[in-house]
Amino acid sequence: MSAAFLITTLIVVVTPGIGVLYTLAAGLTEGRRASVIAAFACTLGIVPHMAAAIVGVAALLNASAVAFQTLKVAGVAYLLYMAWTTLRESSALQIEAVPPRSTRRIITSGVLVNLLNPKLSIFFFAFLPQFIRAGDDQRVLHMLGLSAAFMLATFVVFAAYGLFAAAVRNHVLTRPRVLVWMRRTFAGAFVALGAKLALTQR
């Protein structure tokens, strides 16, 4: 495994995106357990995209405007839904009164966050082959190894983001005005990411 792959992976994973935002929100609103589960869920959401890249399905997304647009619209709709649900809880009292979400619900939301982003499939389709030697007889095996390393890095970095958010959770929850602005910021970020996805081209 090359140093170039590890450095590129770290840069990609550390850069805040939809998954990081979801994990931070889980840590701030529900604590350490939820943040780690959210990080795991977002990592799981990467699996279909990596599988698509390995078997070549991403090529279909890149070639088919209909397939790409369908998945993109679903992704934008889900991000707008995330923004709406984030704004719906508007005070510290509401957050403290609402029971923690089940593990299944956190995982389902986290997987959908990454699953409904067609750019991830195309990204991995372009990203992974760069680190495979031409004529490699074990190309699939090596791609699986690189994918596993990327997923591990994703989980570790996302969990770190989430645990940091959980660590400052009490400071946030005791300040209602901060909480309200935090929710507005997250909701705005989800809308912005949805708009960015809506404007992306193949």
What is the model's pLDDT at position 97?
40
pLDDT at position 24, please? 87
Secondary structure (3-state) at 118: helix
pLDDT digits (tens, 9 = 90+) for 139-165: 778 878 888 888 999 999 999 999 998
* pLDDT at res. 39: 93
Does the pLDDT at position 96 exceed 60? no
- Determine the average pLDDT of the residues in 82-106: 63
State both tokens at 86.
């984030």
Ordered by start, the domain boundaries in the chain are 16-71+91-178
- Judge contact between 80 and 191, C-beta under 8 A: yes
Q: Percent of the chain at pLDDT above 70?
A: 66
Q: Tokens representing 121? A: 């499939």
Q: How far is CA 87 from CA 23, 111, 113, 170, in A?
A: 17, 21, 17, 20
pLDDT digits (tens, 9 = 90+) for 112-123: 888 777 667 766
Q: Tell me: pLDDT of 33 over 80.
A: yes
pLDDT averaged over every residue in the chain: 75
Instruction: Supply the pLDDT for residue 185.
Output: 74
Question: Residues 42-74: pLDDT tens digits?
Answer: 999 888 888 877 777 556 656 667 766 776 777
Distance of alpha carbon 183 from alpha carbon 180, whole angstroms: 5
Give the predicted TM-score (pTM) of the model: 0.68
Could you please report the per-residue DSSP string of 57-87? HHHHHHH-HHHHHHHHHHHHHHHHHHHHHHH
CA distance 198 to 118: 11
Judged against a pLDDT cut of 70, whether residue 99 lies above it is answered with: no
Closest CA to 162 of 13, 25, 4, 15: 25
According to the model, what pLDDT value does residue 118 have? 67
